[in-house]
Amino acid sequence: MLSIAFLILAGPARAELGGAADSIEADQARLKATRSTTDASHYTLHQLQTDSGVTVREYVSSAGTVFAVAWEGPEMPDLQQLLGSYFSRYTEAAQARAGRGALSIALPDLVVQSGGHMRSFAGRAYLPEQLPEGVAPAGLQ
């Protein structure tokens, strides 16, 4: 329940998992973030950095699709925006789990891992079926 409360209070972002890369500019503007881009052999990494210390990394395949997002910082980003159409599946799985603490959801088409405490949050979400060849989930941080 605590995770759900943080989602409601979180600030806005717009890139969405499984969506097109062109939304990253909108995210940058909404977050009032600086953006850096790094080309890797199998994807392009767009890193957004806010003045408040939140970092959102968006991994974009050569086809132009966001296949993973990762975040870290003193507050949670808006996971509804980041997860897009996958958000409802995430919330259903999160509510069904027992216990508190770090969250790890592994569905066939969606993996979400999130944890932390006040002023120190981190997590990632990715689409296993859309990972480019040669990209390991461990490298998505």
pLDDT tens per residue, range 18-53: 988 887 887 788 778 899 999 998 999 999 999 999
Q: How many domains does the chain have?
A: 1
138 within domain boundaries:
no
78 within domain boundaries:
yes
Handedness of CA 89, 129, 122, 100 (dihedral sign): positive
Q: Which residues are CB-neighbours of 28 under 8 A, at least 6 positions away?
A: 34, 35, 48
Is residue 59 within 8 Å of residue 69, measured between CB atoms?
A: yes
pLDDT tens per residue, range 49-81: 999 999 999 999 999 999 999 999 999 888 887
What percent of the chain stands above pLDDT 70?
88
13 within domain boundaries:
yes
141 within domain boundaries:
no
Cβ count near 102 (within 10 Å)? 12
pLDDT band at 97 (very low <50, low <70, confident <90, very high): confident
136 within domain boundaries:
no
Range of the domain at 36: 2-131
Q: In degrees to the nearest 10, what's the CA dihedral of 73, 108, 100, 51?
A: 10
137 within domain boundaries:
no
139 within domain boundaries:
no
140 within domain boundaries:
no
Is residue 58 within 8 Å of residue 66, measured between CB atoms?
A: yes
Q: Which two tokens stand for residue 16?
A: 């969405």
